Amino acid sequence: MLRTEERQRLARERREEREKQHAAKETQILEKERKAKLQYEKQLEERQRKLKEMKQKEEQRRAAVEEKRKQKIEEEKERYEAVLHRTLERNQRLETRQKRWSWGGSVTPDSEGKTASKRSPSTANLKQAEAAVSKCLSSNASDRTRRSHISPLDSSVISRLLAPTQASLARSKSAATLSAD
Beta-carbon count within 10 A of 151 CB: 9
What is d(CA 127, CA 133) in angstroms, rounded to the nearest whole number?
10
The model's pTM is: 0.36
Q: Is the pLDDT of residue 121 over 80?
A: no
Rama region for 171: left / alpha / beta (φ>0; ψ in -120 to 50; rest) = alpha
User: Model confidence at 133, in pLDDT bands (50, 70, 90)?
Assistant: low
For residue 50, is pLDDT > 60? yes
Q: Mean pLDDT in the chain?
A: 78
Q: What is the pLDDT of residue 114?
A: 46
Q: Mean pLDDT across the stretch 132-139?
A: 57
**C-alpha span between 84 and 90 (Å, rounded):** 10
Mean pLDDT of 74-79: 95
